[in-house]
Structures are given as structure tokens and as C-alpha cells.
Amino acid sequence: MLDTPTSNQSPLLADLWDAAHAATLSEPERLLYRSNLLGSDKRITNYGGGNTSSKIRMADPLTGELVDVLWVKGSGGDIGSMKLDGFATLYLDKLHALAKRYTGEEMEDAMVDLYPHTTFNLNPRATSIDTPLHGFLPARYVDHVHPDAVIAIAASADSRKITEEVWGGEIGWLPWRRPGFELGMWLKKFAEENPTAKGVVLEAHGLFTWGDSEEECYKRTVGSINKAIAWLADKSGGKPVFGGVKVPAADAATRRAVASAVMPVIRGLISEGTRKLGHFDDQPAVLDFVGSNDLDKLAPLGTSCPDHFLRTKIAPLVLPFDPATETVADLLPRLAPAIEAYRAGYAAYYERCKRPNSPAMRDPNAVVYLIPGIGMITFAGDKATARIAGEFYVNAINVMRGADTVSTYRGLPEQEAFDIEYWLLEEAKLQRMPKPKSLAGRVALVTGGAGGIGLATARRLAGEGACVVICDIDQTALAVADAALAKAFGRDVIAAFPVDVTKEETVVALFHEAAAAFGGLDILVSNAGIASSAAIEDTTLALWQRNMDILSTGYFLVSREAFKLLKAQNRGGSIVFIASKNGLVASPGASAYCTAKASEIQLARCLALEGAPHGIRVNVVNPDAVLRGSKIWSGEWRAQRAEAYKVDEGGLEEVYRQRSMLKLSVYPEDIAEGVYFFAADLSSKSTGNILNVDAGHAPSFTR
């Protein structure tokens, strides 16, 4: 057990500005350089949070005359990773002219529709709602970021007083106001009334800083944040973090084991409409918070910065637990009632705060689940969003840590939070989201995923939006396949674990890892396999046993563990066996292989019967003669088959093509297509079936 809270001393931010490099860049490139530098440190701003701008004199493409153009981060995007095309460009004088159209707060949303009229140079990047906050400040260079240390001050009960104490008159203070045209007017007025100010803290939200050069602006942002970090460290030195430890953290293995047991159950309970994907985080900052005396006091207050709670919902769900005195068996029965109560609380919040034109209530389930001693689990419709929600909650924890030690932390007032969550502009953004792919929100596990058919299957399922766990005994090939899949589909959605499907304990561990990686399982493709041939009298017991172990026992072990996970999750599932036509049709000289493959098919039928009451479908795809990409066909087996057909190895593919009824070769992608059919809802009414993908082979016709 660990029980030492981590230190609340934060190191200062480094000044990374490289003046020599900056001098080689154009003005827009320098803006990008400044933005990427600021966004590279999550202590400066959270993912996707904050925006940066420069007012640049450029030739107007219409007249050739020099005009002032506002370059400001456009809608969406992240200053740490954005490129030049992420900036919106607006004629500054036209943007300023909009102030004449603005008659008051009731025009706030309508103003957003006017921004495209100010677009410079036909730039297609949509403008963000933060645009007026930059455009009406007179300084040429403006940064707006969400640093944890500054929000800690901004979210304190006495944030105005602390702002004065930390920055003197250099950085001013404005009360909470949601971003939009009105806040732009407030900032303009503030700058006019305080011409010597270098920035402003926005209550509950973040920091604005400005300068007369790119470098001055960057250095002022970093310097202002460092003042906050140093002040917080000074004030909180020696004080216990979050009121001290209440529940010490369990060891890392226990934490992961508990997470892997509860995640599928939570996932099942909250995936009523769309399936969710999970992310587990047990970094020290999280463990300090979830195991603290102040957890019950702080968690319900919710997050403050609008960026934070849009991702995390206003409050997390705390699941009471003490790993020192309880086991996961004590925790599991608490999940359903706690989730039910959270949903009821969310519905009540919606009813209390809704306006006549509010969009309908969205998913009432929590995004963030906190378990004392164990860590934080986040769920969202896709894996990256679940991970990022976790990152945002860590930002929120850092904010609460700072605010709680130096003052009293204050979340955003409920109605303000609601108005942002159900802002019609946010709703419009949601409505514009593309339709999800057919396997979005699903988790698939493919055994033998580094082999020919396994890798093609992983690609097919990931291409349809599934998160994919590949596993294989061949660790070198597994690493190559993992890297290729991550490159094609993104690191978030691919996981790889070495496994020998004949070893019970490694198979059990594999399913725990899969549950902790993505929150559960929907699709199992049992595919790991070999091929062998030998006349019966030459079939050694070892060869016979090897076929039985990998094909028969291996398929049994992974199915058994998949059943346990799918039943815990209670959302059905699809199991697909890659068997072989040799499971249906006897072949001379391959009795061990054929018998083991036949046992796979019979096992699939038994499991189809057992799985049906739970919505678990079990089907079989039978490949035949898939030479390309298959390791089975690269060794001894290929040589033996070539000899049997009296051709050289290069001629073997043609032999099989000619042997097929359709005179076609069968490729790994063809098998993957069959798997996809059984994995997806396309086949939701099929179980216990066999699909031959063999270009036609009459003896394999099923009856």
C-alpha cells in the first residue's frame, strides 16, 4: 500500500522562446510557433483549450492595399498541435464594425453568424466564439490560456483579492462571463480603462495576456503563470494535500485488477443508447485526490473552467471503496444503484435549469468515475474522448488542489454551467458531427492478430471504428503489426499484448488487460492457429497435442474468458471462429489438424446455444487456401502442398485458384470481410452459422 501524498510543489515553466529561430519565421509562422510552444505544456493549457492571436498587416487580395488582419485560432483545434490552416483570418476593421450591430446580450448568439462576413482571403476555417475576445483588445499579440495554477486562483472564493496579491496591478481581473461578444466588449473596456495592464484573469475561467511583440507576449504568459505557480507553492507549503489521506492507494497491480473488473460492469450499465469506451488513470495526482479527506466535499462542487466541464460533465461519480478492508466483490453491487442515482441527479439538474428553447436532455450518465485507493475511470463515445476527459479532470484536480489549499474552491454556478452545456451553438456543433461508423464504440479482440488473416481482420474492424486488441505468441511480428495499426488508425484505438493461447493464466490476464485498456469487449475473433500435415502413422503424440492445444484448447480458453467478460458487461457480443474447410471436410495426411478444426466448429455450435440467452452470437468463418500474407503458407506446409500437387511453390496459388469453383484466389481481406459481417449488427439475427470463404468448394457445402 502507498500512503504518501505527492508534493504540492510544482516546478516553474521554462522559457522556451528561441529568438534566433523566431527571426527566421514570417509573422503568421511566428504566431504558430508561439501557439505550439504554449500548447506543448499541459500546465499552460489543456488539450484544445485556449487560443492565440496576432494582428498582422497584409496586402488585401481585393485592393492590394495593406490592411490589418486578425489571425486567431479557429473553431476546434488545439494550439499545441495545430498547423497554420487552424487559424481563422478576419479583416480587423470589419470585425470592429460589428460592434455597431451589437445591441446587447440578447444578440450574443446571432453575432456568431456575422463573423464569416469578415473573413479575409476566403479562409475556410470557421471562427471560434472566442474571436471577439482577441479582436477588441488593442494589443497586437494576445494569448488566452487555461493554466491550472491560474484557474486555481480564478476559481477561489476570493479570486479578485488573490489576483491583486499575486500580480499587483499588472494583471487585472474580470468577473465570470461566458465567452462571446459581450465578454469581448468587457475586455475592450478593461484595456481602455487600464492602459498599463498587461493581462487579465477571468474569474473561474483562465488568463489573457498581451504584448507588443510575439516574444514579449509569450514571455509575459509564461512569466505570469510562473508567478501563480510560485505563489501557490509558497502558500500551500507544508499544508496537507486535500485535507490529508483518508484511503491509502492500493498497489499498482490491485488498482489495475479492480479497474478491469469494474469497467465492463459500468460500461454495460451506461451503454444503453450508444456504447461507451473507457480509460483508466491512476497517476499520483488522481490517487491523491480520490484517496483524500476532502474528496466528498470537493467532487460534488464540479469543475469550474467551461472547457473542463464540457468534457467531464459538471460533477464526477464517486464510488465509495477502501481496498485495505474491502474486495472488488464489495464494490460491484454498489455500481448499479450509484449510477442510477447519478442519472436521477442529472435529470433533476436538467429540469431545474432548462430554458424554454433548451435542446433535449443528453446522456445522463457520468463521464468521470472516482474510486478511492484505485484511481479514475472515464467513459465516452470514443477512446480519445474518454482519455481526454480524464486529462481534463486531472486539470480540474490540479485547480482544486491549488484553490483548496489557499482559499475555498468554487465551481461554476449551476445555471451558468447548464447554459454552457446546453448552449444552442454547442448543440449545433453536435448536430454537425458525422454519423458514427458501424463499429464505433465497440471493442474487438483478435487472437493471432500478427498473422495474415488476423492482421487483415484487425484492419477491417478498426476501419469500421472499433478499438482493437491484437494478441499473438510471435512478439516481433506483434510489435510490427501494432505499430502499423497505430499508424493507420491512431494510438488510442489499438492495443497489443503478447499471449500464448494455450496457457490458461496468460489468456485470463489478456482479458483483464483488454478490459482495462478499453473498458470491456464486444467482439472476439479466435484466429490464432497453425497447420500441420503428416500421415497418421507419422503423427507423433506431440504433433497431435500441439494441434489440439492451439486450435481446440486455445479456442476454448479465449471463448471462456470472453464469455465471462461479455456476461459481466451484459450487452451481448459476437464471437467469430476462424476454423477451416478442413473442419468440415476430411483431408488425407492431416488428421491432427482436421480433427482439431472440427472440434472448433463443434465448440462454436455449443457456445452459440449457451450464448443465445445472453445475446452472445457465435459464428464460424472457414477460409481455404489463403496463401498471401499467411505465415502458415510460408514454411514446411507450403513445400508439402507443392509436392503433393507436383508444382513448384510459386505455382501453388494457381493450383488452388483452378481448384476453386469460381476460379478465384482467396485473400486475407476476403476472410476479414466475412468476419466483419458476423462481428457487426448486419448479422444480428445469425448465430451458430458457418460461412465458407473459399471461392467455392463443393465438398464444403454445409447442410
Catalytic residues: 593
How far, in Å, CA of 578 to CA of 622, rounded?
6
Q: How far is the CB of 560 from ligand NAD (least distance, A)?
A: 15
How far, in Å, CA of 600 to CA of 616, rounded?
17
Segment contacting ligand NAD (CB under 6 A): 263-271, 325-333, 432-440, 470-478?
470-478
38 contacts ligand NAD (rule: CB under 6 A): no
Length of the chain: 703
Residue 398's identity, in one-letter code, is N
Is 266 or 528 the residue whose CB approaches ligand NAD more closely?
528
515 contacts ligand NAD (rule: CB under 6 A): no
Among 298, 625, 672, 691, binds ligand NAD (CB under 6 A): 625
Side by side, which strands form the sheet with 317-318? 277-281, 375-380, 368-371, 317-318
Among 631, 638, 657, 659, binds ligand NAD (CB under 6 A): 631
Segment contacting ligand NAD (CB under 6 A): 52-60, 165-173, 375-383, 466-474?
466-474
Is 269 or 675 the residue whose CB approaches ligand NAD more closely?
675
Among 302, 624, 674, 683, binds ligand NAD (CB under 6 A): 624
371 contacts ligand NAD (rule: CB under 6 A): no
| Binding pattern for the stretch 289-308 against ligand NAD, x by CB under 6 A and - elsewhere | --------------------
To which residue does cell 484557474 refer?
Answer: 151
Cell numbers of 450, please?
A: 500478427
Is 319 or 626 the residue whose CB approaches ligand NAD more closely?
626
Region of residue 454 (phi > 0: left; psi between -120 and 50: alpha; otherwise: beta) = alpha
Q: What is the DSSP letter of 502?
A: T
Q: How far is the CB of 580 from ligand NAD (least distance, A)?
A: 4
474 contacts ligand NAD (rule: CB under 6 A): yes
Segment contacting ligand NAD (CB under 6 A): 233-241, 387-395, 521-529, 539-547?
521-529
How far, in Å, CA of 72 to CA of 178, rounded?
18
DSSP three-state, residue 174: strand
| Residue of minimal Cβ distance to ligand NAD | 451
Q: Which residues contact 466 (CB under 8 A, 6 or more apart)?
A: 439, 440, 442, 443, 444, 493, 522, 523, 679
Among 448, 520, 573, 611, binds ligand NAD (CB under 6 A): 448
CB-based burial label for 525 (10 Å; 0-12, 13-18, 19+): buried
DSSP three-state, residue 8: coil
| Binding pattern for the stretch 236-275 against ligand NAD, x by CB under 6 A and - elsewhere | ----------------------------------------
CB of 572 closer than 8 Å to CB of 565: no
Which residues make beta-bridge pairs with 445? 469, 524
Among 174, 318, 493, 626, binds ligand NAD (CB under 6 A): 626
Among 131, 304, 365, 527, binds ligand NAD (CB under 6 A): 527
13 contacts ligand NAD (rule: CB under 6 A): no
How far, in Å, CA of 384 to CA of 394, rounded?
15
Q: What is the DSSP letter of 118?
A: G
452 contacts ligand NAD (rule: CB under 6 A): yes
DSSP three-state, residue 621: strand
673 contacts ligand NAD (rule: CB under 6 A): no
482 contacts ligand NAD (rule: CB under 6 A): no
Which spans of this chain sit near ligand NAD (rule: CB under 6 A)? 447-448, 450-454, 472-474, 477, 499-502, 527-531, 550, 554, 578, 580, 623-626, 630-633
